[in-house]
Amino acid sequence: MRILITGGCGFIGSNFIRHILDKYKDYKICNLDKLTYAGNLENLKDLETHPRYKFVRGDICNKKLVFDIMKHSNAVINFAAETHVDNSIKDSNEFINTNIKGTQTLLDAAKLCNIRRFIQISTDEVYGSTNKPSKEEDTLEPNSPYAASKASADMLARAYNVTFKVPTVITRSSNNFGPYQHPEKLIPLFTTNLLSGKKVPLYGDGLNVRDWMYVIDNCEALDLILHQGETGHIYNLGGGNEKTNFEITKLILRELGRDDSCIEFVKDRLGHDRKYSLNTSKIRKMGWKPKHSFESALKETISWYRENRKWWLRLKP
């Protein structure tokens, strides 16, 4: 199989590339990445000379470039996205361009290239705040510009499947964590702040609830969907670890030997969703379930940031 992966220098994409190349000895990957601030060549430095891996720097909005690469591919997995909610609140233009127009460009090329599988990577945030686990068929109620842009991309993927028979599949995952995650996100932000002797900025009362999944478990779910997922379907991917941001903060503090004096409560984010929750029975019926406990995965993640200070120091402002 020849797979085009977009945004492969980002957090989840780079972990997935490594997973696929390690597991399938006859698969080839082309990684198309614009290398915005969240795309980091260091994430895949060990694969630079890998015979089955190729990197191309470019924008998924570039129609000619996308077509020229995709015509040599069997499958496409679109990780490329602007993802930081705070940034979307400050200025949503790049989110509209990359997350919506970029996805449209990829789908147009997939239509022309007769792609056998197109996986659109989405998020639980498209469902909006909820008090019960969201199912794949639930109404989308995005509340941030970021979430709205991802919901729009989902609708495009669905429409291209219905209208043009592009073999799309959509995955919506909960909060991922693990190695190579940019230190703007909660777990690496708080971990690296504490390792730098700084306080951790906790929004509002800290009681917003998120479900957490170790990135390796997400990669294995995506692998299963790549090979066995049904065209036109949506799959929720979650770790089953619903915790408040305050609980996560306390766990990180404990692991690093700090106390509550390191917490700085800050003004809440605009439109901050109170809770995300996913019903993952559909993917679990296919035989997938997370292999890593939250506690052990969090310890491993914190250890990774301890041991890779050089990697994240250049990324922190």
List the catalytic residue out of 33, 82, 108, 125.
Answer: 125
Q: 20 and 44 in contact (C-beta within 8 Å)?
A: no
Measure Cα distances from 78 to 104, 153, 274 in Å: 11, 10, 28
Whether 94 sits among the annotated catalytic residues: the reply is no
Q: Pseudo-torsion of CA 304, 223, 2, 153, nearest 10°?
A: -90
Q: What's the number of CA atoms in the CB half-sphere (13 Å) around residue 134? A: 29
Kindly give, in sequence order, each residue whose CB lies less than 8 Å from that of residue 135, ignoring residues fewer than 6 positions away. 236, 279
The b/e string for 72-97 (b: 16+ C-beta within 10 A; e otherwise) is ebbbbbbbbbbbbbebbbeebeebbe
Helix 186-195 crosses helix 294-307 at what angle (to 10 degrees)?
50
List the catalytic residue out of 108, 127, 136, 146.
Answer: 146
Whether 268 sits among the annotated catalytic residues: the reply is no
List the catalytic residue out of 33, 124, 211, 217.
Answer: 124
Q: Which amino acid is it at 109?
A: A
Helix 245-255 crosses helix 186-195 at what angle (to 10 degrees)?
30
Environment class of residue 174 by beta-carbon count within 10 Å: exposed (0-12), middle (13-18) or buried (19+)? Answer: buried
Residues annotated as catalytic are 124-125, 146
